[in-house]
Structure 1
Amino acid sequence: MLHRAEAADLAARREWQTLLHYRPTADGAGVVSDADDPRFFLAPTGKTDPDAELAATLRAFFSTDAVGGDPQPAQCAFIARYRWLKRELEFDDRRLPPQSCERFQHWFHELNAESATLVFTSAYLNNPASLFGHTLLRLDRRGQTEHTRLLAYAINYAANDTASHGLMYAVDGITGGFKGTFDLQPYYKLVRTYSDLESRDLWEYRLNLSPPQLQRLLEHVWELREIQFDYYFFRENCAWQLLTLLEVADPTLRLSDEFTLWALPPDTIRLLVQQPGLVGAITARPARGTVIRRRYQALHPDERRLAQRLTDDPAITATPAFAQLAPERQALLLELVLDQRLHRRGGKLKGKNATVPVADEIAHQLLTARNRLAVAAAPVVIDPYATQPETGHTSRRIGFGFGQRNGTGFVELNARASYHDLLEPDAGYTPDAQIELLNIAIRYYQDRNRLKLDRLTVLDITSLPPVNALSPRPAWRIHVGWEPYPRPNCPDCTAFNLSGGLGLAAETGWRWRTLWFALPGLAFDYGGDFAGNYRAGLGMTAGTLLQPLAGWKVLASVSWLDYRWGETGTAIRWSIGQNLALGRDWALRADWRALEGTHEFGMGLRIYF
């Protein structure tokens, strides 16, 4: 078999390369596996030597020694390898007796999978690992219906980050300090975490995998149990690893090759839907928080006031104001308030080690009142706030433009690694949120005949959820990077800026949707042009985001800063920016800014790719 495998060059075949997660090294001279667990390899050099690993695998099939992440004989521990090699080499069962692998057979029949669905969960700004969303793979059971799909199992790839905190959390996530593993969990548990507790909208993409492809995928998932990978926030993450699973199922796919530096979940969804015939039906699963907000928005002003009082006082159901409502409107209010109480109390437990929610007498009374109404609640359209990720612009961006600062003209080249800002269209992204990573702008000023860094944003996260009385949420912002701080003796100076704020946002709908926000906060600037090389203080940023048309947004903001440490003083900055989408991947941008006495105007074209 060794001679035949070598003659057929099986180690170079795409099927073997995907099963071992091999990919070319940086210099192109060889290959290396993404797997970082020695238990995944049967040869000492298996991580970088496909031929040695294949030979060691064939030898191991004759042994009953336990190997792999879940120790058992090699035929069972690496069953996808065994079955592929058996097909290619036509094993003689008399000379290499097949083993029963009862544990695998029980596991496989317990899953009873008929198809697979890729699930995208929208961005969650409170967790760095989920800033750009998350993907997982649901295994749909035979005979499954719309009402029973929560009982399916799902393949989830995640990092073990419990031992990392604070700054080290970011460092470990960027440098591969976490260990990632594939895990099989009931889908309803993941929905509870992502949709119910974190209020993340879910989009489900049915995959058109053939029965042999699905079986090969499941066999490989069996091989990966307990196997560890180095986890990276930006590339070897959940989105990347699910692409490698699909490549095992169908080796003709070359999905992971499309991502060199980073693989963000929305970008991988765009790639999947571009594959001919791979994606079937697409279904939305709005989060519990989305259901609450949509129903609250559908209420009349008087009904909203009743809902606010009803949340903590079931006796409102006996008042004339509630009784005069139509029964279906009463049912709507009761269901809304019940959802809100479950959402608000979902994470509270009774006792140190309890596993059940705290008893809620108010919720019991509200549920009793709802059961007395023998009518369905008034229907409300529940659309996810986070729309399908593939409908939005791609996350990378490059732009060029021109303008002037205090009468001096400049030409600007800018680029962004990812992801989305407040002025860009909301399609495909979480509305009223901004996440920018590695955004750089370089300018050429006519009178100075040189290139100059204007700004470099390392990370900027802004979340402006409109507040409502039923489920208030704070607005907040954090910024890290270098910003322009022009001065009379240094018109193109920059300084490092670390700033953040916490406040509120509200929306109005007169004429067009308008978002208003106010963010008290702190700011720290570091640069050689400040007295003592730094300044720090308190501040307030307020502004408004208008959307007159679907593809046109205007953002106006003003910041007042009171520096009390280092170089002291006050400063005012304001800006007005607008973005006009010319298509999904083209936009025209214009900005007018005042930077502590210096005025500038610029405009240019932005291209997304």
Structure 2
Amino acid sequence: MITGESFLMSTKPSFSVNCTSSATRLRACCVRARLPFAVAALLLSAQVQAVLPTPAPLVMTGELAAAPTITADISHSLTPQTDGTLHSQNSEAEQLLATWRQQVQAHSLAEHTTWRRLLYFLDDKKSLFNKGASKSLIDSPTFFLSTDGQHDAGAELDALLVALAEQRVAPPESKPSSDAQSAICRFPARTHWLTQRLGIDSSSLQADCPELTEWMAMLNPEQLSIMFAEEYLDNPISAFAHTLLRIDSPISAADPSQIHHAYALNDTVDGDPDDAFAIYAIKATSGGYNNRIEIDPYPEKLAKYLKDDERDAWTYQLDLTPAEVQQIILHVWETKDLDIPYYFTTDNCASEILRLIDVVRPEQDLLSQLPYVVIPSDVVKLLDEESLLADARYTPSDSTVRQAELNKAKAAALGYQNLTNDDASNIQSAARNVASSISAGDKKTIIDHGIIASDNNPIDRHPLQVAQIGAGQRGDNGYLDVGLRLGLHDTLDRASGFPQFFNLEALAATVRFYETDTSKDHEPDRVVLENFTILRGRSFNPVNTAKQGKTWGASVEATRVNDGSQPSGRDHLVGSTGYETGWSWALGSPKAGSGEMPPQLCYALLSGKGQTGRGIHKGFRLGAGVNAGCDYQINNQLRAQAQLQLPYWYHGSSDDPDVRSHYWQPISSIGLQYDIDKNQAVRINASYEWQERIDANDDIQLSYRRYF
């Protein structure tokens, strides 16, 4: 049995090896001496199995297990021999095939988990779409040697055996100068895995693979790391963060700052930039686009996140051996040009990393441990829980570097008193202050500014799903709330692990159970849907910090509102869409030595909202106004917020003197959350609607929240 290292080293320079030593000839003679007995045993076994039932296929998760015999006889696919002098080579290939097939049958290799994963048979992949089916996700014929390869992993394995046998016995003088299209060159990861399992001496597989050799020499893979770029709300495609693989050569593995010796392996959507955003989002979510594997110099890719998007990055070394790293990269060679459907929530940049690791670590079965929706931060946390992260490195974005300079200058100015506006603007400005974590001159290294890491390591964040149960009082009617949110984070949640002031919620619902069911038609029923949020969030870029961009917010939801147009304000469920834009300010004293912004936040936003519902007057209302508020970080476990909404609503003109066509409806609210631990919290919410036509103006609630 050869080692992984010896095979992979042979792939880098060439597959051609001189096999004319006397020791090699002696081993070959011994093999041929045993082959007649092996063939006889195989024929006898075939006769016995002809009258016995064949066991059903079993997908393996370990090394060996029982599996059906591969009975397909494709020995005729061997190159026909018209010259009598070559007949012995054909015979030797058939003998090799007989021996190898017997080993494949004995060890059930056709149903081995690793083999099926190399072919994209993702048996354990949960999905709402075409995953878990008993066929490969790849429908390109170039990905298979057998015409039945997409549906039959055994047929594909047997076809590879035939190709290896032909390659093994072919004399050197009959080989072309380049075998770039041979099975060994096209599928080096499959070849490596199979030769290891069957104990085939890889040096006997004579093939020259110049393109593969050049590609492997360029990457020179020694180590892999996962790079996490934090959430970026100003680009909807990046709102849920991003992950990619850093491929380190021996030089960059020894010194992680030498990024010009590393490459980035990035899996992303191959979308049409000319498509409208709505079309783009639908196609990216439903598999309407293919994925695209990009391999770029690491400095270029890192600069996009640190400089263009101004997103902090965390890099974690993966605890993989050099042999496992090489096998992953060989598998990427096999798959990098394939058309594979991209699903934004299930098959994305994060899930692909787990799939690659599963190829070399089948026993950990990482991909099956995640739910249908795959979030990059969940992948980082899972790898940490599985002890696959060996090291963590923080790289601050350009805005974080400038913010650290601003913090230092203000602290030196004795309580922020003597720093002039011009001085502050020079530090804050990306145009005037080009300070960056990437060297400005040669862009070959990462600069260590000595900045304390921000509290945004995704490993430290709370679980993204949360369930809540709360008791409250609305007017004179008590109620019980039950709610569920699938992601991600609001401003009262525990802040550790997220970008500062991060606020994005997706797919949340709350059902309310009232104590009494009154006969008044303007009051709610006993059981009501209080809220269903598709998406709601705000992007805060305080104007007095080094953070670039504007402050804005958006929401798409169904929610219950009080209709102030009626003589007795009515409670109705409406569909609501809103947008906000304005200004925010960070206040207080930031953490010393860090690039974090001050911890407190205040904002003033101009807002517009449209609501529609069967129960409200004329079935719709349009609102415009101002939303103002502050978020206060009392300590690591306690946070508070206060907000005042001043919307002015318009329903359309009305001839009824008792019905208002337009009116103010201010709402004031406060919130407070205390974290019991990382997974539990209690929260208080209270609100009051300043509208005389509403009976139940006040609402107060105490709730328990469980993150999971």
| TM-score normalised by length of structure 1 | 0.83
Distance 2:501 2:674 in 1: 17
Identify the range of structure 1 (256-265 vs 594-603) with the bigger mean alpha-carbon deviation. Answer: 594-603
Aligned match for 2:470, one of 401, 408, 426: 401
Instruction: Within 5 Å, give how 1:383-462 maps onto structure 2.
Output: 383-385=452-454, 387-448=456-517, 450-462=526-538
Query: For the residues of structure 2 that align with 1:428 and 1:396, how far apart are their CA atoms?
Result: 15
Which aligned pairs between 1:46-57 and structure 2 lie closer than 5 A? 46-57=149-160
Match among 423, 430, 439 for residue 307 of structure 1: 423
Select the residue among 42, 65, 76 that pairs with 2:185: 76
Hey, which of these two has a bigger chunk of strand by percent?
A: 1
Return closer, same or farther for 1:533/1:175 CA change in 2, 3 Å cut-off.
same
Q: Does 1:158 align with 2:243?
A: no
Within the candidate set 506, 522, 528, 2:585 is matched to: 506
Deviates most, 155-164 or 189-198: 155-164
Matched residues in 2 for 1:167 and 1:460: separation? 17
Alpha carbons of structure 1 residues 42 and 533: separation in structure 2 relative to 1, 3 Å? farther
The answer on 1:294 being equivalent to 2:380 is: no
Q: Distance in 2 between matches of 1:110 and 1:198?
A: 28
- 1:485 aligns with 561
1:601: how far off?
Answer: 1.0
CA spacing shift, 1:8–1:73, aligned 2, 3 Å:
same
**Gap change, CA 1:88 and 1:194, over 3 Å in 2:** same
- The answer on 1:210 being equivalent to 2:321 is yes
Give the one of 196, 203, 220 matched to 1:112: 220
Please give the per-residue CA displacement for 1:310-341, whole angstroms capped at 9, x wherever unaligned: x4xxxxxxxxxxxxxxxxxxxxx6xx768745
Q: Does structure 1 retain, via aligned residues, the 8 Å contact 2:131–2:137?
A: no
What residue in structure 2 maps to residue 496 of structure 1?
575
Paired residue type of 2:336:
R
Query: What is the Cα deviation at residue 570 of structure 1?
Result: 2.6
Q: State the one-letter code of the partner of 1:100.
A: D
Q: Does 1:554 align with 2:653?
A: no
Q: How does 1:91-106 map to 2 (within 5 A)?
A: 91=200, 97-106=205-214
C-alpha offsets along residues 209-252 of structure 1, whole Å, 9 cap, x if unaligned?
Answer: 11221111111111112112211221211000111111113222
Aligned residues of 1:537 and 1:565 also touching (Cα < 8 A): no
**Alignment partner of 1:606 is 2:692:** no
1:146 deviates by 3.9
Cα 1:146/1:124, change in 2 over 3 Å: same
Deviation at 1:48, TM superposition (A): 4.2
- How far apart are the structure 2 equivalents of 1:477 and 1:308? 27
TM-aligned CA distance change 1:526 to 1:294, over 3 Å? same
- Give the deviation of 1:182 after TM superposition: 1.8
Inter-CA distance 211–92: structure 2 relative to 1 (3 Å threshold): closer
1:582 corresponds to which residue?
A: 676
Matches within 5 A, 1:178-197: 178-197=289-308
When the two structures are superposed, what TM-score results if normalisation uses the length of structure 2? Answer: 0.72
Is the 2:502–2:538 contact (alpha carbons within 8 Å) kept by the matching residues of 1?
yes
Aligned equivalent of 1:14, options 104, 107, 113: 113
Q: Which amino acid aligns with 2:249?
A: R
Give yes or no for contact 2:267–2:292 (8 Å, CA) kept in 1: yes
The match for 1:540 is 626
Q: Please, which runs of 5 or more residues in structure 2 have no aligned partner?
A: 1-96, 168-178, 442-446, 518-524, 591-597, 653-660
Could you tell me which residue of structure 2 aligns to residue 167 of structure 1? 278
**Residue 132 (structure 1) aligns with:** 240
Larger deviation: 5-14 or 395-404?
5-14
Q: For the Cα contact (< 8 Å) 1:154–1:186, is it kept in 2?
A: yes
Cα distance 1:57–1:535, how it changes in 2: closer, same or farther (>3 A)?
Answer: farther
Query: Is 1:87–2:209 an aligned residue pair?
Result: no
Identity of aligned residues (%): 26
Seen in structure 2, the aligned counterparts of structure 1 residues 587 and 293 have a Cα distance that, compared at 3 Å, is same
1:494 counterpart SS class: strand
2:173 equivalent in structure 1: none
TM-superposed CA distance for 1:37, in Å, is 4.6
Residue in structure 2 matched with residue 528 of structure 1 by the alignment = 614
Contact (CA 8 Å) 1:504, 1:517: kept in 2 or not?
yes
Q: 1:338 to 1:561 in 2, by over 3 A?
A: closer
CA distance in 2, matches of 1:213, 1:29: 25
Give secondary structure in 2 for the equivalent of 1:398.
Answer: strand
Cα RMSD over matched residues? 3.1
Please report how far the alpha carbon of residue 307 of structure 1 lies from its aligned counterpart in structure 2 after TM superposition: 2.3
Checking the alignment, whether the CA contact within 8 Å between 2:180 and 2:209 is kept in structure 1 is no
- Asked if the contact 1:417/1:439 (under 8 Å) is kept, the reply is yes
Could you tell me how far apart the structure 2 residues matched to 1:132 and 1:469 are?
23
Determine the C-alpha separation between the residues in 1 that align with 2:625 and 2:405. 36
Task: Write the letter of the residue equivalent to 1:532.
Answer: K
Report the Cα offset of residue 202 of structure 1.
Answer: 0.5
The farther-off stretch of 6-15 and 254-263 is 6-15
3-state DSSP class of the match of 2:347?
A: coil
- SS of the equivalent of 1:31 reads coil
One-letter amino acid of the counterpart of residue 101, structure 1: C
Letter in 1 for 2:530: D
How many angstroms does 1:253 deviate by? 2.1
> SS at the partner of 1:485?
strand
- Which range moves more in the overlay, 182-191 or 108-117? 108-117
Question: How far is the alpha carbon of 1:157 from its aligned partner?
Answer: 0.5
Correspondence 1:573 to 2:667: yes
SS at match of 2:392: strand
Q: d(CA) in 1 for partners of 2:293 and 2:366?
A: 19
Q: How many residues align?
A: 548
Quick check: 296-305 or 536-545, which moved more?
A: 296-305
Q: Is 2:227 the partner of 1:148? A: no
Q: Within the alignment, does 1:463 sit opposite 2:539 as a pair?
A: yes
Corresponding residue for 1:247? 358
1:592 aligns with 2:592: no
Q: Which residue of 1 aligns with 2:345?
A: 234
Distance 1:513 1:149, change over 3 A: closer
Q: Which amino acid aligns with 2:554?
A: I
1:207 Cα deviation from its structure 2 partner: 1.3
Distance in 2, matches of 1:592 and 1:108, equals 61
How far apart, CA to CA, are the structure 1 residues paired with 2:108 and 2:662? 71
Assess, with a 3 A threshold, how the Cα gap between structure 1 residues 438 and 28 changes in structure 2: closer, same or farther.
closer
Q: Which residue in 2 is equivalent to 1:367?
A: none
Residue 159 of structure 1 and its aligned partner are, at CA, apart by 0.7
CA distance in structure 1 between the partners assigned to 2:113 and 2:227 by the alignment: 26
Amino acid at match of 2:470: G
- The answer (yes or no) to whether the contact 1:196–1:343 under 8 Å persists in 2 is no
Q: Does 2:134 correspond to 1:31?
A: yes
- Counterpart amino acid of 1:53? E
Larger mean CA deviation between 112-121 and 141-150 belongs to 141-150
Deviations 1:239-277 (A, max 9, x none): 00111111113222211101231110111111101113x
Residue 181 of structure 2 aligns with an amino acid whose one-letter code is Q
- The aligned residue for residue 91 of structure 2 is none
Return the index of the structure with the highest Cα Rg: 2
Distance 1:133 1:396 in 2: 17
SS in 2 for 1:493: strand
Give the drift of 1:569: 2.9
Closer/same/farther in 2, CA of residues 101 and 8 from structure 1, 3 Å limit: same
- How many Å separate the matches in 2 of 1:223 and 1:156? 15
- 2: distance between equivalents of 1:129 and 1:72? 37
User: Alignment partner for residue 604 of structure 2, among 504, 515, 518?
Assistant: 518
